[in-house]
Amino acid sequence: MATDEDLRNMLTETLNKGISYDDYKTLVSELITKGKSTGLTQNESMLNYSKLSERRMKRWDKTFKMQEDDKSFFQNESKPLTFLIISEGWCGDAAHALPIINKITDSSPNIDLKIVLRDDNNELMDNFLTNGGKSIPKLIALDEKLNVLFTWGPRPKKATGIVNEYKAKHGVLTPEFKEDLQKWYNKDKGQNIVEDIKSELEAL
């Protein structure tokens, strides 16, 4: 783990190369047209995952609707914050989460969104592991002085509970379970992600 000063320096460098959600989508799309995905691993499976994630992001961009009271909550956030997200274009959980988080930051004049790729930022990722793993997406909420206020990810809390319960019973996540998890995301319609982040901000 990095010292506080080292981490702050690392975050400064990372934010300088962070991109917007629109630029992230453009990057993913441009790589797909070249038969590639983001990240170090390049194969047919990763390309197919990227194509699927691209479709999911487009669908959520069109269909996600934030409730008016939630929109007002984020509009009234008074503290300048940055949401730094570590992601990859092939990641299924990121494809569900990033469009929702983008709508959250779009609704707030005081929350900026920056996205970086995991495989390009291993040292940063090592400071924000989930149960020892490099699970993504990972949201790091920062104040103006780059203090880490909270982290979120790789899944909303309810989905994490479902995953942990299944792993405890079966050891691994089967393709059938992953399909059921996608159905959960579609049924939840992004609301648990909004609830999670709203709860974190309320606790600050």
Question: Amino acid identity, residue 44?
Answer: E
Let me know if residue 195 belongs to a domain: no
pLDDT at 88: 98
Sequential DSSP letters for 87-145: E-TT-HHHHHHHHHHHHHHHT-TTEEEEEEEGGG-HHHHTTS-BTTB--S-EEEEE-TT
pLDDT tens for 116-132 read 999 999 999 999 999 99
pLDDT at 50: 98
Let me know if residue 35 belongs to a domain: yes
Let me know if residue 202 belongs to a domain: no
pLDDT tens for 53-98 read 999 999 999 999 999 999 999 999 999 999 999 999 999 999 999 9
CA distance 124 to 118: 8
In the DSSP assignment, the letter for residue 134 is: -
What mean pLDDT is predicted for residues 28-51?
98
Let me know if residue 126 belongs to a domain: yes
pLDDT tens for 139-198 read 999 999 999 999 999 999 999 999 999 999 999 999 999 999 999 999 999 999 999 999
Task: Report residue 133 as tokens.
Answer: 């793993």
**How many structural domains compose the chain?**
1
Q: How confident is the model at residue 2 (pLDDT cuts 50, 70, 90)?
A: confident
What mean pLDDT is predicted for residues 37-41?
98
Let me know if residue 183 belongs to a domain: no
Let me know if residue 57 belongs to a domain: yes
State which residues form the domain around 132. 4-155
The CA-CA-CA angle for residues 74, 80, 84, to 5°, reads 85
Let me know if residue 105 belongs to a domain: yes
In the DSSP assignment, the letter for residue 39 is: S
- Per DSSP, the three-state class of 46 is helix
- CATH number for the domain spanning 21: value is 3.40.30.10
- Per DSSP, the three-state class of 82 is strand
pLDDT at 1: 79
CA distance 109 to 76: 9
Report the predicted TM-score, pTM, of the whole model to 2 decimal places.
0.96
Let me know if residue 199 belongs to a domain: no
